[in-house]
Amino acid sequence: MDWINDCHVHLMGKEKPAEILRGMDKNKVEKCIVFAPIGKNDTLQETVEADDFAAKIQKSAPKRFYGFVRINPTLPGACSEIERGIKKLKLRGVKMLPKKWYPHGEEARNSYELINTLNVPMLFHSGILWMKGAMSTYCRPAYYEALYDYPKIKFALAHISWPWTDECIAVANRFWAGDFNRKQCIIDTTSGAPRIWKADALRKALSILPPDCIMFGSDFWPWHKDYRAYIEADFSIYGELGVSKPYLQKIFNSNFDEFFKPPKKARKGA
Ligand SMILES: [Zn+2]
């Protein structure tokens, strides 16, 4: 298997760059998006420390680690921390998980407004939530149609938004082939869905969407001993679906780099 890129890796806050890189080399992972660690209490101070940690990891090997600010946009001071993370720490994107706020609601819009000027992508949790005390209600994919109002933000929806995979594909399709006509929405294939749903969702997604808008993510750790099995599980699905090598190359490799380029029109003349 060729080297791959992984768009969805959570830092826990204690990792050493050398140990991560060893695991990445072993599993032939060239680049990873690494999210700042999740704080216990979701305070701004925790977020600042977490972003500093992500920046430290990124600085150790900037060609391989793409650090993301991880932020709750409802925190007072969220915008200044996003700005610090991108401008001062040079982090390369922003990760959000809607928890007690809606992606299309007023609370998040100041952050989107700012990110729209910073030329960095966003990655959202979408779909069912397993965290204690959190409700999945806020994470439905159709809410992300609001990102149409921020044309410079390319964004990825994690977990194919399971269990709302059809809705996720419809939203992506609206951006790529429908009236929104902007290559703005990417599907992050990070698991969450049990295999039977994941295989079904990928089959449907690839039947109507170009492979350009589907990107591999693990939501796992490339330095974990079971990481290889994890990738193989995804490959077995694509094998069953008869997905071609050039498509796989996009999904597992080149779409990662594309994610960092500004959105373009999907159809000419529209
Ligand atoms: Zn995740």
Query: What confidence tens digit (pLDDT) does each residue in 176-226 have?
Result: 988 888 899 999 999 888 999 999 999 999 999 999 999 999 999 998 999
The count of C-alpha atoms lying within 13 angstroms of the C-alpha of 118, restricted to the half-sphere facing its C-beta, is 25
C-alpha of residue 268 to centroid of ligand 1, in Å: 34
Q: Residue 111 in contact with residue 99, Cβ under 8 Å?
A: no
- pLDDT classification of 155: cutoffs 50, 70, 90: very high
Find the largest Cα–Cα distance for the chain.
50
C-alpha of residue 12 to centroid of ligand 1, in Å: 12
What domains sit in the chain, N to C, each tagged with a CATH number?
73-215+224-258 (3.20.20.140)
Q: Compute the mean pLDDT over every residue in the chain, rounded to the nearest whole number.
A: 94
Q: What is the pLDDT of residue 39?
A: 84
Query: What confidence tens digit (pLDDT) does each residue in 232-258 have?
Result: 999 999 999 999 999 999 999 999 999
Residue 268 scores a pLDDT above 70:
no
C-alpha of residue 193 to centroid of ligand 1, in Å: 13
Residue 270 scores a pLDDT above 60:
no
Strands of 155-157's sheet in order across: 4-10, 29-35, 65-70, 93-96, 122-124, 155-157, 185-188, 214-215
C-alpha of residue 9 to centroid of ligand 1, in Å: 7
What mean pLDDT is predicted for residues 100-110?
95
- pLDDT classification of 41: cutoffs 50, 70, 90: confident
Q: What is the pLDDT of residue 267?
A: 65
CA gap 12, 221 in Å, rounded: 10
Instruction: Give this prediction's pTM.
Output: 0.95
C-alpha of residue 83 to centroid of ligand 1, in Å: 22
